[in-house]
Amino acid sequence: MSSQQTDRPRAIFLDIDGTYADHGLAPAAHVDAVQEVRRRGHLVFVCTGRPLSMVPGHILEAGFDGVITGAGARVEMNGEVLKDTRFEPDVAALIVDTLDAHDVAYILEAPEALRGRTGVGERLRRILDPVFAGRSRHDGVLSTDVDPVEDILGPVQYSDDLRGASFAKISCFDSPVPLTGLMAGLGPQVGLIPSSLSALGDSAGEIFMAGTHKAVGIRVVEERLGLRREDIVAIGDSANDIEMLEYAGVGIAVEDGHPGVLAVADRLTPGPAGNGVALAFAGLGLLD
């Protein structure tokens, strides 16, 4: 990585949760900053672990040049889907069977829908309500009527049988047994990272396709647009942001982010409450 600046247009890849927005709520300063740097000829992309079905419209209303979702599993730009990868059907069925056998509360994530087992919704609300208590409204943010729990659970479709579902990632919110102990039985095609909701602790995590991460999605955009790697900027805070900060020409971590992100970052910036994305843009000279 290098922090060398350039007068050429930058391509900026922004994580959503904990970076661009706080539980679905984006500070007005971040929206303004995205619109201003795009007006000045730079490119700005959403690059999130959320599936497209879980990215609220009010987040995208700021205007972006493309959207990378599912932590690199799906890439869309100018209405064209450049990449859309899912678990192979037999692996997907094994994951569902394993999670159900151990009574894990989870959501299957695909671009077109979130899916959960019938009855898990109430369990998830009991888990998530304390995490977001008192955090549904913040000064300086847009869409202050957004309920963070509803932001997660609202799009979920429930079914008695999920074995035939197609998905790219699984968010596990509560597991009676350590998720790390389940991984050996799922095979080398499956990986696990900590949940972006760190308050949930070791009983939560995100199961993903091994070899798929945000830098994979960035490379798809890089190749399509002929970008220079040194002109790529990435900003993030969670474990699933490590690869993209390592890959970017300039990697910027949210200052209270995951230790692994902090370790690979070139620079630090505050979280959404401190308008960190806007400050990062200013520090790179993109708002001058």
Same domain, 194 and 117: yes
Per the structure, the complete domain to which residue 253 belongs is given by: 11-85+212-284
Same domain, 249 and 204: no
Percent above pLDDT 90 for the chain:
80
Report yes or no on 3 lying in a domain.
no
Smallest CA-to-CA distance from 108 within 60, 24, 164, 67 is with 164
- Domain boundary residue, one of 186, 209, 232: 209
Report yes or no on 38 lying in a domain.
yes
Same domain, 134 and 149: yes
Which residue type occupies 160?
A: D
pLDDT attached to residue 134: 56
pLDDT in tens, 24-67: 789 999 999 999 999 999 999 999 999 999 998 889 999 999 99
Report yes or no on 6 lying in a domain.
no
Same domain, 93 and 170: yes
Same domain, 189 and 100: yes
- The more confident residue out of 188 and 135 is 188
At 178, which CATH number? 3.30.1240.10
**How many domains does one find in the chain?**
2
Same domain, 154 and 173: yes
Full-model pTM: 0.89
- Checking if the pLDDT of 257 tops 70, the result is yes
Q: Taking residues 100-122, what's their average pLDDT?
A: 95
Q: Please tell me the distance from the alpha carbon of residue 17 to that of residue 9, in angstroms, as a whole number.
A: 25
Same domain, 61 and 140: no
pLDDT attached to residue 118: 96
Report yes or no on 2 lying in a domain.
no
Same domain, 115 and 65: no
Report yes or no on 1 lying in a domain.
no
Same domain, 171 and 196: yes
Q: Where are the alpha helices (DSSP H) in the chain?
A: 28-39, 57-60, 89-101, 120-132, 148-153, 179-183, 214-225, 242-247, 259-264, 276-283
pLDDT in tens, 172-181: 999 999 999 9
| Residue 142 contacts residue 58 (beta carbons within 8 Å) | yes
At 77, which CATH number? 3.40.50.1000
| Residue 115 contacts residue 153 (beta carbons within 8 Å) | no
- Domain boundary residue, one of 166, 185, 209: 209
Same domain, 129 and 190: yes
Task: Name the β-bridge partners of 158.
Answer: 116
pLDDT in tens, 203-253: 899 999 999 999 999 999 999 999 999 999 999 999 999 999 999 999 999
Same domain, 216 and 78: yes
Report yes or no on 222 lying in a domain.
yes
The bridge status of strand 114-117 relative to strand 156-159 is parallel
- Domain boundary residue, one of 188, 209, 230: 209
Q: Taking residues 112-120, what's their average pLDDT?
A: 95
Report yes or no on 238 lying in a domain.
yes
Q: Taking residues 247-272, what's their average pLDDT?
A: 97
Same domain, 56 and 164: no
Report yes or no on 4 lying in a domain.
no
